[in-house]
Chains A and B, each alone.
Chain A
Amino acid sequence: MGRSVRAARGALLLAWASLAGALPPAGGAAAQSLTMAVGAPVTSLDPHYHQLSPNTAVAQMVFDGLTGTDARARVVPGLAEGWTAVDETTWEFRLRRGVRFHNGSALTAADVAFTFQRVPNVPNSPSSYAIYTRPIREVQIVDDHTLRLRTAAPWPLLPTDLANVMILDQETHAAATTEGFNAGAMAVGTGPFRMVTHRNGERIEFERNDAYWGDRPHWQRVAYRMVTNDAARTAALLAGDVEVIDQVPTSDLAKLRGDQRLTLAEVTGLRLIFLGLDHARTDASPFVTDNDGKPLPRNPLKDARVRRALSLAIDRGAITERVMEGAAIPAGQFLPEGSFGWVPDLPVPRAEAEAAKRLLAEAGFPQGFRITLHGPNDRYPNDARIIQAIGQMWTRAGIRTTVEASPWTTFVARAGRQDLSAFLIGWGSSSGEASNPLRNLVAGFDRDKGYGASNRGRYANPELDRVVETAMRTLDDARREALLQQATRIAFEDVAIIPLHIQKNAWAMRRGLAIDARADELTRAQDVRPAAAGAVR
């Protein structure tokens, strides 16, 4: 009863607002169509072909996983309405009843089993989703709506990982190819939208799936356009050609905020920008020399005091305020406050140039040394300007720094080969919890365990590895979080990497619209609604 009264009042408000002309036509109830412009091209509609944020965003409009994640990257039920760990290595997932694919085919446990079998076998996949299904050793279909997944070893992240795996239909997709998905015929899922047309690199059009099992999205029709040029995307919004844009450039934020016709939505993301350091060499590091330009006999970056000095020499507040224009928050660890594994008593290091100089002297470098700081110039917002700022800060603290920015394609290859001494790079913890950056960035490089794959500085600390491994075998959430916090503390007290800031994600839209700004950077049409209608719910 109360709900319907509220709904009626909301509808009245909406009607009034559109009469007053406060809402653009797209926000009105009559024209339920939405045009969005995104900054990164969608490369494939096959949800198992190329793991890439824009692809995931579109996949989540058309398909569903067993689990999903909310705007704060916490795991929520998807096609599975619930799950339990039956024992250390067995998970039971209970499927939602009455879910149908866009072509009317019913969802059953067999479809899920089929999906897990397809994921590792997509031909030519440049970045497979198999990393999420690999822990599953056996899929047991208990009945049409119950599955048991057995893992080789305890794997607490299974529900988190499965949010990335979109469920397909055995009957429809038995012989589906990536080209079939891209052409549209195979883009049949259970998701809130069905795909209408796909023009590679240009636009994708959707219409609402009125039989969707979850909250019905507001928009009857959605045009999802790809406008990779930042200025052109902003201009398209200002010209009224599109109603929502993502990846608002930091330099446009102030201007857009002051525009009466527009609204901004910002949220602290999960992408940490940090400096990696050369831990691989004990002798001379390639881009570190003494003040005369001669190689040093030992690598100063192996000394934790030197690393701490480098960290203390950086004024993070100045970078986030001036270089990033407020579009980032200073960071002292992997994740923003409130995330799973965030350590409360690990503060953001304060800028203390004097303390940095003292630490350098203690470590045997009273006169400092020379270093080259590398970084990309086309990857992260203001990346080249950030390393320039850090170069000045380090030089002020007695470490004469040269800065070298290069395109991502060449930069990342060099960083991956351990060619560099100090470099700026970013990491998006898509799972929103601390085991992800711990395993990938600071755990020792180990092919068999799959740890440290992005540990480009080759930091190695057996104590940290042990704690992380224990955490990864711990199903109990509270105990696992405590272990992850312990590992995080080890990593940052030893300055394995130098954290700089966590980026904010920003969307801009016509006034009268609202978006559930997602920490994981995904731009999805179901998260956009008229601001007034949002009050109704």
Chain B
Amino acid sequence: MTVFLLRRLLQAAGVVLAMSLLVFLGVYAIGDPVEILISPEADQQERERAVRALGLDLPIWRQYLVFLGNALQGDLGRSFVFNEPALRLILDRMPATLELAIGATVAALVIGLPLGLYAGLRPNAPLAKGIMAGSILGFSLPTFWVGLMLIMVFAVQLGWLPSTGRGETVTVLGMRWSFLTGDGIAHMIMPAINLSLFKISLVIRLTRAGVREAMLMDYVKFARAKGLSPARITLVHVFKNILIPVVTVVGLEFGGTIAFSVVTESVFAWPGMGKLIIDSINVLDRPVMVAYLMVIVLMFVTINLVVDITYSLLDPRVRLEGKA
């Protein structure tokens, strides 16, 4: 286990380093941040001053080395736009995105697993066909459009839910959370559902496919022959066996949700990391873009690790040392 973890950490460091170089070069190629940031009124001297102030007068390789040197000391640079440490900006926004992503993932499991199980056990029932048809919609409707429709129906027409924003928050552990206040939850419902639609469909389909496959397995037939109750067969024997693909996909999806919930966050004006990164890209705030992608890389590495560990808990045949 320890060897496995160490090796994994080493790999992670390599990935982060390669990523930092790629991101730095990519961001450098997009355009000149001074053109975007500076007031159009500024004259040539003022432009030159801004270029120097932001450290953009150095050649790219020196900019990269400066960045790398600071990064090793835990400083991912200061935002050009906010003049605050990029990492702190990102971490400030993280709770908002985290609670949204967790809400969406929980919704996906709570709604998707039972529906998928039902559709797998009774594949020919009309309701199962309805569920499967619905899941196609969940896959194919663009989140952007669904989000606006949710707002139009539940906020504008019915007036049940607030249209945008984060609502009231409480501070716990130095971070602001919405899910602990009624107003915050009301603000969270629509974005979380919008974010989870795709995932619900995914979980339904994975679960259904898994159940249908497992039901034909010998161990299920044997359990049935042994006279076990259908409930026990489903919940203990089948369910446990279909969880591996579901955990893998949900885990990866969770990372994707945190990293790229850009559309939902901007439609609902949800002040999370996704909105920060899209705003930063629009003004070429390089330090924030680079720091954000670094954080995301670290996060994916961690999630993959957690998924691997979960495997070994779910399936005793998986040995972590063997994998490394």
Residues on A facing B (Cβ under 8 Å): 37, 41, 43-44, 46, 49-52, 123-128, 130-131, 178-179, 182, 199-203, 225-229, 231-233, 235-236, 238-241, 378, 408-410, 412-413, 416, 427-428, 430, 436, 440, 445, 447, 450-451, 453-454
Asked if residues A126 and B163 are in contact (CB atoms below 8 Å), the reply is no
Asked if residues B38 and A126 are in contact (CB atoms below 8 Å), the reply is yes
Q: Which residue of B lies closest to A235 (CB)?
A: B151
* B contact residues around A410 at 8 Å (CB): 30-31
- The answer to whether B40 has its CB under 8 Å from any CB of chain A is yes
- Chain B CB count within 10 A is highest, among A51, A178, A239, A430, for A239
- The answer to whether B45 has its CB under 8 Å from any CB of chain A is yes
13 A-B pairs, CB-CB below 8 angstroms? A49-B83, A124-B78, A125-B50, A126-B80, A127-B50, A131-B41, A131-B42, A199-B271, A225-B164, A235-B163, A236-B165, A239-B159, A241-B162
- The answer to whether B89 has its CB under 8 Å from any CB of chain A is yes
Known: A410-B31, A440-B41. A453 touches B165 (CB 8 A): no
- The answer to whether B305 has its CB under 8 Å from any CB of chain A is no
Query: What is the interface size of chain B, counting residues whose CB is below 8 A from a CB of the partner?
Result: 53
Asked if residues B166 and A202 are in contact (CB atoms below 8 Å), the reply is yes
Closest-CB distance, B73 to chain A (whole angstroms): 18
Asked if residues A235 and B164 are in contact (CB atoms below 8 Å), the reply is yes
- The answer to whether B152 has its CB under 8 Å from any CB of chain A is yes
Q: Within the assembled complex, what's the spacing in Å between the Cα atoms of A182 and B269?
A: 20
Known: A124-B83, A131-B42, A409-B36. A238 touches B276 (CB 8 A): no
* B contact residues around A131 at 8 Å (CB): 39, 41-43, 46
Asked if residues B43 and A428 are in contact (CB atoms below 8 Å), the reply is no
Residues on B facing A (Cβ under 8 Å): 30-47, 49-50, 53-54, 78, 80-84, 89, 92-93, 148, 151-152, 155-156, 159, 162-166, 266-269, 271, 275-276, 279, 281-282, 284
- Give 17 A-B pairs besides A232-B266, A239-B162, A430-B41 with Cβ atoms closer than 8 angstroms: A50-B37, A126-B38, A126-B53, A127-B50, A178-B82, A201-B271, A226-B269, A232-B164, A241-B164, A408-B36, A410-B30, A416-B32, A428-B40, A447-B45, A450-B44, A453-B47, A454-B40
Closest-CB distance, B289 to chain A (whole angstroms): 11
Asked if residues B50 and A126 are in contact (CB atoms below 8 Å), the reply is yes
* B contact residues around A41 at 8 Å (CB): 279
- Chain A CB count within 10 A is highest, among B33, B36, B148, B163, for B163
Closest-CB distance, B172 to chain A (whole angstroms): 16
Asked if residues A125 and B53 are in contact (CB atoms below 8 Å), the reply is yes
Asked if residues B53 and A124 are in contact (CB atoms below 8 Å), the reply is yes
* B contact residues around A412 at 8 Å (CB): 31, 35-36
* B contact residues around A46 at 8 Å (CB): 83
Partner of A200, one of B44, B78, B82, B159: B82
Q: Within the assembled complex, what's the spacing in Å between the Cα atoms of A52 and B30?
A: 22
Asked if residues A427 and B40 are in contact (CB atoms below 8 Å), the reply is yes
* B contact residues around A445 at 8 Å (CB): 44
Closest-CB distance, B55 to chain A (whole angstroms): 9
* A contact residues around B271 at 8 Å (CB): 199-202
Known: A50-B81, A124-B83, A201-B275. A409 touches B40 (CB 8 A): no
Q: Within the assembled complex, what's the spacing in Å between the Cα atoms of A124 and B86?
A: 14
Asked if residues A182 and B30 are in contact (CB atoms below 8 Å), the reply is no
Asked if residues B45 and A44 are in contact (CB atoms below 8 Å), the reply is no
Asked if residues A128 and B148 are in contact (CB atoms below 8 Å), the reply is no
Asked if residues A128 and B266 are in contact (CB atoms below 8 Å), the reply is no
Asked if residues A52 and B267 are in contact (CB atoms below 8 Å), the reply is no
Q: Within the assembled complex, what's the spacing in Å between the Cα atoms of A201 and B269?
A: 9
